[in-house]
Amino acid sequence: RASQEAQTVSELRQKVAEIQVLSEQRAAAGSDMTEPALPKEGAFGLGREAMPEEVAAWDVDVLPDGRGLPEGRGDVFTGDEVFAEKCASCHGDFAEGVDNWPVLAGGFDTLGDKDPVKTVGSYWPYLSTVWDYVHRSMPFGEAQTLTADETYAIVAYILYSNDLVDDDFELSHENFAEFEMYNTDGFVIDDRPELEYSKWRTEPCMENCKPSVEITMRATFLDVTPEGGGESVMNDASAEDTPTFVANAPASNTPSDTASGTESVAVLSADIDPKLIASGQKVFRKCQACHDVGAGAKNKSGPQLNGLIGRPMGSVESFNYSKVFKTAHEEGRVWDEAALAEFLAKPKSFMKGTKMAFSGLRKEQDLDAITAYLKSVGD
Amino acid sequence: KEADPLITEVQEWASLTGAGVDETPYGLPISFEKDVVRRNVEWLTASPISSINFTPIHALDGTITPQGCAFERHHSGAIELRKEDYRLMINGLVDRPLVFNYPDLERFPRENHVYFCECAANTGMEWAGAQLNGAQFTHGMIHNMEYTGVPLRTLLKEAGLDAAGDLKNKWVYVEGADASSNGRSIPMEKALDDVLVAFKANGEALRMEHGYPVRLVVPGWEGNMWVKWLRRIEVTDMAVESREETSKYTDVYEDGTARKWTWVMDAKSVITSPSPQMPITHGQGPLVISGLAWSGHGKITRVDVSKDGGITWETARLGKQGDSKALTRFYLDTDWDGNPMLLQSRAMDETGYVQPTKNQLREVRGENAVYHNNCIQTWFVNENGVAENVEVS
């Protein structure tokens, strides 16, 4: 055993000596020891080959020359209907934009004005972008639910809203490439190197750079404190001599708060499964673009939903309901759980004429969950 | 004068015990620091789901932005994507289209770099004039983190670029797994340069709001290109001209023409203290003027500070040597005589570029460019040490 140990020791000594020689060589070579991670020219053998159906599922982008467009067609009339159902609650029936949501039509030749109006018609240089974006990312909150034909129809309608085509126009993969957008020549590639860099790469002035300086404008938004007051810890300076902009800070600022991003949930009924409420809160993400809940909830594109279960239909003051809800309100109809479940499963069937642009919750457990959640956010 | 009872009387914390080591497995700032949070401006956007919030740069020091208060910008909200569900596809003009899972990415050689990420719309509200009263709001669409990740070129070479032929006019289209997908086209030269596929920031996994588990890092270029929840990389022969690089992130000039492919963030700086949210409360005497400078073209080499609105300038000292395409901290150790000041900072980078004034920028671009406002910022500080966002002649 002693001789074995002696052998191990001498082997280790030799190894150490070899390593030291290599280290000295590296240090002598003058490298700073922080080499970049050099690839072995694709020799890693990591990852697996993508299957054609996988590529087809994810590679849906459309290039400006039309490559990537699937077969399909849609005309302005169909587009009018699809748009009204799926887009108008945010973009307006005539693509004019509701509240702060984007306006899609109009604004031609305003780009040089004091307040340019940039719309699909007045600004977007390529039609492919419209198709690509609508198909992949719209409606907001329900992306990737439109068929190719629906997308062609919507795009045709957007063009029509911009007076770029007549009402008998049909858009398809066949005539797509012919279409040229109004502002297709309105773009120049970044020319800051020519227009700016050469001018501003000079030794700057250090003294007597100007004869005098005066304040030409003071801050527009000086002191906007949210409702209920927002205390900003600012080294004990008082509110009076501290012009401050304090935006809507989160309801609770303490670091131990574990709110997941939407309003904190007050569980009213002890027998609703808290897990169901939590999963309902997730389902509510499909709704929160248009609906608010919780303390201080405001109407948005849709009415606030505090205390919805048991609430009369169409009853939120100051919300401009569609006719079907106004009628329901007059008839004294109430949101019980059954009505809500039917509505959320198929909104346009249960309340024909509703402005709510949502195709419906397909899963039973989602309906249960969202009901539990809405019950828990009472007023 | 009386002796300070905080010293002469035994205080609670000097006698009682405090929290144990098992109290908080993941610590957050102490409650006294509750001012140091992200904030958002409600009226900026139609919904907070497609919106932005602001880093509290007024209250931070050094250069690294803690993830918890680093700004977020989403186009369809921050999604929850588990590492087990994560897939990254490379397709297009490559020899073999590939799919990676998360463990695959950790098996490639990785690098660490500190880079700033700035939204192109940072300071965008200020084109029309002095608007928002706080450095957090005028300049807070920025953060600076140390990223750990695999160079994009490693992954591209794994898929093989022979099929792409001459790489000179080729592009890489990157998109995310979220609903907005946020697809952007990157010229091949940049893609093969310093672009990183990152999975850690400041030592830990990316936060959900910063693209967990994987995001793209495009050093020195506008934040919108730093695709979060990265799901696909496609080699193409032309720019896709997606919504985010045509209708948005293009700059309209005064004559109505627009600039596209405005990728790089020019040199910029701002004084974070004193500033509207950080008044001088200690009175006359020694004063530290502190701020940040950065450039998408490389290293910041110098920052000058003016106390009189640009008539005279002094050169500040840098906290440490400027890192390329990263935030640099500057300090001017000065003396305050109690008189009003007009504070400005002016950055220079290694190309010799000098940060322009707002007037210089407006002369070239007009007021409607929205993006890439890297002008010199002015804070008016009154005799009480209170600061306000102003414009000067």
Tens of pLDDT, residue by residue over B142-171, are: 999 999 999 999 999 999 999 999 999 999
Closest Cα to residue B141, out of B42, B55, B69, B59? B55
* Cross-chain Cβ contact B34/A235 below 8 Å: no
How does pLDDT run across B256-284, given as a tens digit for each residue? 999 999 999 999 999 999 999 999 999 99
Is the CB of residue B331 less than 8 Å from the CB of residue B317?
yes
Contact A233 B388 (CB under 8 A): no
Chain B residue numbers touching A250 (CB-CB < 8 A): 37
Maximum alpha-carbon separation in chain A: 102
Q: Where is B155: in which H helix or E strand?
A: helix B152-159
Minimal Cβ distance to B262: which of A126, A190, A208: A190
Measuring CA to CA, which residue among B26, B1, B30 is closest to residue B13? Answer: B30
Contacts of A200 in chain B (CB under 8 A): 353-354, 356, 360
CA distance B55 to chain A (A): 13
What is chain A's percent helix, strand, coil content, to nearest 5?
35, 5, 60
**Of the candidates A131, A135, A155, A151, which has an alpha carbon nearest to the alpha carbon of residue A143?**
A135
Pairing of strands B142-151, B111-118: antiparallel
Residue with the larger pLDDT of the pair A225 and B122: B122
Report how far Cα A295 is from the mean position of its chain's Cα atoms.
Answer: 24
**C-alpha to C-alpha distances, A290 to A140, A296, B8, nearest whole angstrom:** 10, 15, 59
Across the interface, whether the CB atoms of A186 and B99 are under 8 A apart is answered no
Look at A219 and B263 and tell me if their CB atoms are within 8 Å: no
> How far is C-alpha B150 from the geometric centre of its chain's CA atoms?
21
What pLDDT is recorded for position A31? 59
Output the pLDDT for position A282.
Answer: 82
**Burial letters B302-316, b for 16+ CB under 10 A, else e:** bbbbbbbbbbbbeeb
Question: Are the beta carbons of A155 and A207 closer than 8 angstroms?
Answer: no
Identify the pLDDT of residue A260: 31
Contact of B72 with B145, CB cutoff 8 Å? no
**pTM for the predicted model, two decimal places:** 0.81
- Is the Cβ pair A197, B29 closer than 8 Å? no
CB-CB neighbors (< 8 A) of A188 in chain B: 257-260
- Distance, in Å, from the CA atom of B229 to the CA atom of A305, rounded to the nearest integer, reads 31
Q: How far is the alpha carbon of A100 from chain B, nearest alpha carbon, in Å?
A: 5
Instruction: Give the burial class of B375: count Cβ atoms within 10 A of its Cβ; 0-12 exposed, 13-18 middle, 19 or more buried.
Output: buried
pLDDT given at position B294? 98
**Overall average pLDDT of the B28-51 stretch:** 91
Q: Is B227 on the interface with A (CB under 8 A)?
A: no
Q: Do B39 and A125 touch (CB under 8 A)?
A: no
pLDDT of residue A221: 67
| Distance from the A329 Cα atom to the nearest Cα atom in chain B, whole angstroms | 28
Taking CB atoms and an 8 Å limit, are A112 and B137 in contact across chains? no
How many angstroms separate the CA atoms of A297 and B175, rounded?
34
To the nearest whole angstrom, how far is the Cα of A283 from the nearest Cα of chain B? 13
Give contacts of B 93-132 with A, CB under 8 A.
Answer: 96-100, 104, 107-111, 129-132
pLDDT of residue A30: 67
Answer yes or no: do A100 and B380 touch at CB < 8 A: no
| Cα-Cα-Cα-Cα dihedral sign, residues B54, B60, B63, B68 | negative
Residue of A nearest to B236 (CA): A63
Query: Closest approach of chain A CAs to the CA of B347, in angstroms?
Result: 10
Q: Is B181 on the interface with A (CB under 8 A)?
A: yes
3-state secondary structure of A302: coil
Reply yes or no on whether the pLDDT at B186 is more than 50.
Answer: yes
Enumerate the residues of chain B whose CB falls inside 8 A of the CB of residue A235: 278-279, 281
Confidence of residue B199 (pLDDT cuts 50, 70, 90): very high
Of A70, A187, A170, A76, the closest CA to residue A124 belongs to A187
Q: How far apart are CA B368 and CA B273, in angstroms?
A: 29
B271 — contact with chain A (CB < 8 Å)? no
Report the residue of chain A nearest B239, measured CA to CA: A63
Q: Which of residues 197-216 of B touch A (CB under 8 A)?
A: none
Report which secondary-structure segment, H or E, holds B303.
strand B300-306
Are B108 and A37 a contacting pair at CB < 8 A?
Answer: yes
Q: Which residues of chain A have pLDDT under 70?
A: 30-42, 220-272, 378-379
Is the CB of A247 less than 8 angstroms away from the CB of B42? yes
Looking at the partner chain, which of B97, B154, B157 has a beta carbon nearest the beta carbon of A49?
A: B97
Q: What is the pLDDT of residue A258?
A: 33
For testing contact with chain B, the best of A235, A254, A263, A298 (most B CBs within 10 A)? A235
Least Cα separation, residue B11 to chain A (angstroms): 22
Chain A residues within 8 A of B90 when measuring between CB atoms: 47, 50
Question: Cβ B364–A256 below 8 Å, yes or no?
Answer: no
